[in-house]
Amino acid sequence: MALSDNLNILFPITVNENSIAVIPTPVTTLPAKNVFNSRRDKFLRIIGTNATIKFNTNSLEETTAICLGFLNLTDSSTIRIRLYNDFNQTGLIVHDSNALPGVDPAYFQWELENLFPQVYFYSFEKVNFKSVVIDIVAPGNSQIDIGRIMTGFIFEPKKNYSLNSKWQWQEEGNDRISGNKYRIFSLDLKYLENIENDRYEYEKMKAAKQGDLLVCLQPSATGLDFLKNTAICKRVNDISRVRYRENTNKHRDLYKEVI
Amino acid sequence: MTNEDFTDWVNEEGINPVVLVEVSHTAGTFYLSNKFYATETGEAPENVSYDVSLNQSFIIQRSLDAKTIGSIRVYNDGDFDDWQNLAFINQPIKVFIGDAQWPRDDFRLRFSGIIDDLIENSPNEFEIKITAINELPNINLSGNNLLLAGTINTYSIYRGSAYGSKYYKIADADQFNQVDNMTVYVSGLAKAIAWDGAYNNAFYIPSEPSPSATPYLSCKGIINSLKAFITELCSRASMPINSANFALFPDYTEIGARFVNTLSFEYILNEVLRGIGAFYVINGIGEIEFYQLKDPETAAPDIYLIAEENIIIRQSNTDKILRNLVFTHSIDHSDISQQIFTYTASNIIPVGFQFDDKAVNSFVSGTSMINENTRQRLLRSKSRKTFNAKIKRMVPNINLGMVVNITSNTTGWREGRNGIVVGITEHLTNNMAELTIWR
């Protein structure tokens, strides 16, 4: 669910990783805390068709989106997100997505399984919360894999990236199946206001190159266009900023998809 | 996936293999890879996501006159900091290759060895030095080369040396068997493998004939030894231990096992026997006899008689005889010095191995076909020299000691020349190999 047409970058907040609880119990070799690890080779696996994941923040936090990355859901799956204003899920539900399709049908229409990792990106009006409950119903699955869960602040510039920003598809090796394939999003943000710049710089510094984030170039797109332009990435370039008018800032950033 | 399908995949241009490395320590196993790969429920190992931590340089070097050495560089972002508290030296390490889309079972064991050392190159990288327990070069007599009492089969005959003194675990977790420097001397004396320090688990040969024509591995000894051997055999070949693969004969006083799945038999033995320091030969009645060598200073070697007339090697082409190859055994294990004699190479005629067309076209120009020191072409020189051949793909079917026939669009090489592979360097992640050929 997109809120605007402009670039969305989800910078994840720090949550209480020890608070995570998963039903049913994950396999021991692929435990729950893996969903907070930015490494692609660390993920959570649950045997079965349904899963409920709960976790808390450390304090009252605000958020405008949730992302679940590196999923293996089938096209009959649904995901429900509930956010609570307390740590025990007995208080007020500040946001309830109700059950939504877990995967865009275009993912299977275009047989993208071998090209793009499956990413679920759900954004909403800002809320303050302390805990999250994620319910996944996947009748077509025998096991549910979740590589990453992140929630946090969406950076959304008032003026979108300039026209020469681009989307690149990279391939290492010429094997059609197993060569490393990933996307690079090259963003030229030329018109950031001072307050936007401050927040963007701060979030980039906090994430660092090691931290992952979600980049969505076309939040209002649907189907294949949305899928192509949405990926969990890490920043490649160093941070720099050009101030060229009193209240205008330019950033040029390169985000490489996590593979 | 059949071995042929795997070979076809390896021979494709530009494959980007997934390399899986399973590093053992005394308390468990770590799983590393060069790319993302995770196993599924029901696979072995089950539900494992391999740590993508292998740096790209991954080289295995094997040579007839030196220890096999391998180098695996591992990137450590902190996840492996506790490795300094674990015991890795002399523990097994296995390397598999395959494609990211394959099930785990389709990955092939590419190398199996022992961790020789673990060193830190930098705070973010350490290096695993690996070696093989031994490298027994084999003469791969493919095709109709070995005629035994009217039966035509395809088997390998081994000879060679083992290097280094390693502990190799083939039984329960608390039992280690030591493989000492094992050398088959030209004159026939053999230095032993010591099992448990008391030679209780030695293998030796029964006198009863094989109960059937299928490859029959026989050994006399304590049953635990055979079970341990079979267990390791199947583990290395990623084959389950079940009646589909081998059957024990309980009605013999000696312990024997018949490999039912004969198509895999040679593949299994190639891998396992190389790893635990043994070799086998086929006797005149179709038995595959398994040799483990003992220290002649402390115990009589258990090497059985093989009558010369029971081994017939059919000449399949007229290529020249390789004089360096020696097959040794003893005829009586009560007096070693007098009873071990040697077959000369004149009795063994190797088959030339022809590269396929793709491999020929992959020769890197500038590959040295001449003596690097004198710049002389190797025509019919009395002195035997080595040269290197680079191949732009891995070579899963070539082993040390193998006779290969090299052809190249180069003067003097168009008709092909035989040579022995005395060294193999494989760049696993770059999908390249370099052969050192001796002729």
Q: What is the pLDDT of residues B229-276, one digit of tens each?
A: 556 655 655 666 665 555 544 443 334 455 554 444 444 454 444 444
For residues A6 and A155, give the distance between their C-alpha atoms in angstroms, rounded to a whole number. 10
Instruction: Say what the pLDDT of residue B68 is.
Output: 61
State residue B49's pLDDT score.
Answer: 93
Distance from CA of A62 to the nearest CA of B (A): 31
d(CA A10, CA B238): 44
Mean pLDDT calculated for residue range A128-142:
95
Q: Which region among A128-132, A133-137, B374-378 has the lowest average model confidence (pLDDT)?
A: B374-378
In the predicted structure, residue A251 carries a pLDDT above the cut 60? yes
Of the residues A27, A28, A29, the best mutation for testing chain B's interface (the one with the most B CB atoms within 10 Å of its CB) is A29
User: What tens digit of pLDDT does each residue of A172-206 get?
Assistant: 654 444 456 788 888 888 888 888 888 899 999 98
Q: Give every residue of chain B whose pLDDT is below 50, as ranges.
A: 133-226, 248-256, 261-268, 270-382
Please state the ipTM of this predicted complex.
0.81
List the 97-156 stretch of A: residues with Cβ below 8 A of B: 114, 142-143, 145
Under a CB-based contact definition with an 8 Å cutoff, are residues B274 and B238 in contact? no
Would you give the DSSP letter of residue B346?
A: G
Q: For residue A17, what are the contacts with CB-CB under 8 A and spacing of at least 6?
A: A33, A36, A55
pLDDT at A6 over 80: yes
Q: Is B85 helix (H, G, I), strand (E, B) or coil?
A: helix
Q: Is B360 helix (H, G, I), strand (E, B) or coil?
A: helix
Q: How many residues does chain A have?
A: 259
Give the nearest chain A residue to B48 (CA atoms): A29
Which residues make Cβ contacts (< 8 Å) with residue A107, sequence separation at least 6? A75, A113, A116, A118, A227
The answer to whether the Cβ–Cβ distance between B49 and A174 falls below 8 Å is: no
Contact at CB, B14 and A39, closer than 8 angstroms = no
Q: Judge: B40–A143 Cβ closer than 8 Å, yes or no.
A: yes
Question: B411: which 2 tokens?
Answer: 């003067």
B434 token code pair: 């370099």
pLDDT at A240 over 80: no
| Dihedral angle, C-alpha B265, B266, B268, B270, nearest 10 ° | 160
In a 3-state reduction of DSSP, which class is residue A85? coil
Question: Which of A116, A143, A177, A178 is the mutation pick for testing B, counting most B CBs within 10 A?
Answer: A178
Secondary structure (DSSP) of A15-50 = EEEEEEEEESPPPTTS-GGGGG---TT--EEEESSE
Residue A41 at interface with chain B, using a CB cutoff of 8 Å: yes
- For residue B150, which of B55, B49, B285, B7 has the smallest C-alpha distance? B285
> A225 pLDDT exceeds 80?
yes
CA distance A25 to B205: 52
Q: Which residue of A has its CA nearest to B102?
A: A178
Q: According to DSSP H, which parts of B144-199 are helical?
A: none
Yes or no, beta carbons of A114 and B51 under 8 Å apart = no
Out of B12, B36, B40, the one facing A259 most closely (by C-beta) is B36
- Establish if A43 touches chain B: CB-CB under 8 angstroms: yes
For residue B98, which amino acid is it? Answer: G
User: A174, A175, A210: which to substitute to probe chain B, counting the most B Cβ within 10 Å?
Assistant: A175
Task: Answer whether B18 sits within 8 Å of A178, measured CB to CB.
Answer: yes
Measured between beta carbons, which residues in chain B are less than 8 angstroms from residue A259? 36
CA distances from residue B104 to B34, B92, B245 in whole angstroms, order as listed: 15, 19, 19
User: CA-CA distance, B202 to B177, in Å (whole number)?
Assistant: 11
Can you tell me the distance from the alpha carbon of A250 to that of A244, in angstroms, rounded to the nearest whole number? 8
Between CA B142 and CA A228 the distance in angstroms is 51
| pLDDT of B180 | 25
Task: Tell me which residues of chain B, numbers 71 to 130, contact chain A at a CB-CB cutoff of 8 Å.
Answer: 99-101
Interface of B with A in 386-405 (CB under 8 A): none
Max intra-chain CA distance, chain A: 57
* CA B46 to chain CA mean position, Å: 27
| Ramachandran sector of residue A85 (left: φ over 0; alpha: ψ -120 to 50; beta: rest) | alpha
| 3-state SS record for B264-319 | HHHHHHHHHHHHHCCEEEECCCCEEEEECCCCCCCCCCCCCCCCHHHCEECCCCCC
Q: Does the bond joining B92 to the residue before it have cis omega, within 30 degrees of 0?
A: no
pTM: 0.60
Tell me: pLDDT of A101 over 70.
Answer: yes
Supply the pLDDT for residue A116.
Answer: 82
Instruction: Say which DSSP state A127 is in.
Output: E
Across the interface, do A43 and B49 touch by the CB < 8 Å criterion? yes
Mutate to test the interface with A, among B36, B74, B77 (most CBs of A within 10 A): B36
Closest-CA distance, B397 to chain A, in angstroms, reads 22
- Please tell me the distance from the alpha carbon of residue B372 to that of residue B27, in angstroms, as a whole number: 48
CA distance A146 to A99: 18
B101–A114 CB contact, under 8 Å: yes
Q: Using the structure block, give the residue that is written with the tokens 């007020």.
A: A92
> Rounded CA gap, B388 and B378, in Å?
13
Nearest to A143 among B16, B41, B52 (CB): B41
From the list A206, A124, A217, the residue with the least C-alpha distance to A168 is: A217
DSSP-derived letter for residue B192 is P
Q: Within an 8 Å CB–CB cutoff, is residue B18 touching chain A?
A: yes
C-alpha distance from residue A54 to each of A26, A43, A51, A66, B40 (Å): 13, 16, 10, 13, 24
Residues B127, B72 contacting (CB under 8 angstroms): yes
**Separation CA B83–CA B120 (nearest Å):** 11
Instruction: Please tell me if residue A47 touches chain B, with a CB cutoff of 8 Å.
Output: yes
Residues in A touching B46 (Cβ below 8 Å): 27, 29
Contact A177 B46 (CB under 8 A): no
For A73-87, A118-132, B150-164, which range has the lowest pLDDT when averaged over its residues? B150-164
Q: What are the b/e assignments for B314-338, b being 16+ CB within 10 Å? A: eeeeebeebeebbbbbbbebeebee
Model pLDDT, residue B429: 67
